[in-house]
Chain A
Amino acid sequence: MSSDKTNIQEPKYINPYLGGVLLGLLIIVTVFITGRGLGASGAIKSAVVTTSNTIAPKATEANTYMCQFIGGDHSPMWTWLVFESLGVLLGGIISGIVFGRMKKFRTDHGPRITSKKRLVLALIGGALFGLGSQFGRGCTSGAALSGTATFALGGVIVMFAIFGTGYAVAYFFRKFWI
């Protein structure tokens, strides 16, 4: 490690292969208990349907996409993935405390862009990811990882499409990161 670089303070992350083994075991446990894998984007979808249903219940019922997720005795927030995602937030907090990464609000950005620009890009990227996750029937967790781990063709397709596209377009967005 030379002193002229700012990447000298390596943070305390666990070994990535250990992280991978733990995550793989967690998928096995999850499938063993619930019969399906992990997820993330589904919780945001529940939040969208819930707000829409609260503000404009008639329009939500008339919407051919959102109407599938309402009805019954419970709010659309009463789903497995919402509780799981609350757990993810909690688990992140616990890890952040354990490894000393819980700090006040801050923004990570590449050396060539400002924090403000990074936040705009994060918003745009998030919107695209949210849109894509609906067509993909899940995101990196639900479709790409859990789908492929359970040998689903759709999971493999989403996995290669996400990472393949990422590499294909990375060159055009390099100023944002390096």
Chain B
Amino acid sequence: MGPLIPNGIIGGGWDFVIAILIGVAFGFILEASGFSSSRNLAGVFYGYNFVVLRVFFTALIVAMVGLMYFDYVGWLNLSQIFVLPTFLTPMIVGGVIMGVGFVIGGFCPGTSFTGIAIGKLDAVFFAIGLYLGIFGFSLAFPLFEDFFTSGDMGNVTLMDITGIPASYFAVAFTVMALAAFWGTMFIEKRVRKNMKQYKF
């Protein structure tokens, strides 16, 4: 049955209508969870607010388990869905650069859009930065074209690379998430007690 659009069950003409609707839901959830504030987001790195970890890991395990369930009951063929390609070194380097950008900038791209939505100037500047960063990357692309396409492993999943079934990874991520939820509860309480000023 699924995925519906690639299998022609929903016509391609609905593509952009669905895109907007999914986006609205995405933006609403992010803003309603407090992701429109850079101070809330940065809190995950300093221990005073773990909202990022809670939302991110809950979403991750719900989606992982749910997708496996959809596959199991035959609603969705997981072998038909898009698998992000892996370029080993470039993606590690990209992640490291994004990590530094996250701590300095206090947003990630999606959250900055919701910050802009409710009038956060720092989110506007972050998004301008995103634009400049991607423009700079594009202009300088010939310099690192070889590096960009290096370490190409194709569209591999964790299962392809290890031979371990998906359910094991879902369980491992769930255990990891629950342990993190539990542990960070105490860290947050302790750090907040010592914080003088924290306006949301």
Binding site for B on A (CB under 8 A): 4-7, 9-11, 13-14, 16-17, 19-41, 43-45, 47-49, 51-52, 63-66, 80-81, 83-96, 98-99, 101-111, 115, 118-170, 173-174, 176-178
Q: Which of A5, A131, A164 contacts B137 (CB 8 A)?
A: A131
Quote the shortest CB–CB distance from A71 to chain B (angstroms).
16
Least CB distance from B143 to A in Å reads 11
Known contacts A52-B135, A145-B60, then 5 further A-B pairs from the complex at CB < 8 Å, ordered by chain A residue: A21-B59, A122-B129, A149-B60, A154-B85, A170-B103
Q: Closest residue of chain A to B2, judged by CB?
A: A32
Does A101 lie within 8 Å of B31, measured CB to CB? yes
Asked whether, in the complex, the Cβ of A122 is within 8 Å of the Cβ of B122, the reply is yes
Beta-carbon contact of B109 and A40 below 8 Å: yes
Q: Is B72 an interface residue, CB under 8 A from the partner?
A: no
Asked whether B5 lies within 8 Å of A129 as measured between CB atoms, the reply is no
CB distance from A33 to the nearest CB of B (A): 5
| Selected contact of A84 from candidates B4, B22, B66, B125, CB within 8 Å | B22
Task: State whether A123 touches B126 (Cβ < 8 A).
Answer: yes
Query: Are A63 and B108 in contact, CB atoms less than 8 angstroms apart?
Result: no
Q: List 8 A-B contacts (CB under 8 A).
A: A35-B6, A48-B138, A84-B20, A84-B26, A92-B114, A108-B37, A129-B130, A130-B109
Are B125 and A126 in contact, with the CB atoms below 8 A? Answer: yes
How many residues on B have C-beta within 8 angstroms of the other chain's C-beta atoms? 135
Question: Quick check: is B179 within 8 A (CB to CB) of the other chain?
Answer: no
B23 at the interface (CB under 8 A from A): yes
Q: Is the CB of B45 within 8 A of A94?
A: no
Are A127 and B26 interface neighbours, CB within 8 A? no
Contacting residues, chain B, for A139 (C-beta < 8 A): 98, 108-110
One digit per residue, 1 when the CB lies within 8 angstroms of any chain A CB and 0 when it does not, for chain B 96-136 equals 11111111111111111111111111111111111111111
Given A125-B105, A129-B105, A153:B157 Cβ within 8 A = yes
A127 and B27 within 8 A (CB): no
Interface pair A91/B114, CB less than 8 Å apart: yes
Contact A31 B76 (CB under 8 A): yes
Within the complex, what minimum Cβ distance (angstroms) separates B193 from chain A? 10
B88 at the interface (CB under 8 A from A): yes
Quick one: which of B119-166 are within 8 Å of A by CB? 119-139, 141-142, 145, 148, 153, 155-161, 166
Q: Contact: A65 with B91, CB < 8 Å? A: no
Contact of A83 among B16, B116, B134 (CB under 8 A): B16
Whether A135 pairs with B97 at a CB distance below 8 angstroms is yes
Q: What residues of B have a CB within 8 angstroms of the CB of A47 in the complex? A: 131
- B93 sits at the interface (CB 8 A): yes
> What's the Cα separation between A45 and B200 when bound, in Å?
30
Give the residues in chain B near A101, CB-CB below 8 Å. 31, 36, 118
Closest chain B residue, CB of each to CB of A33: B4
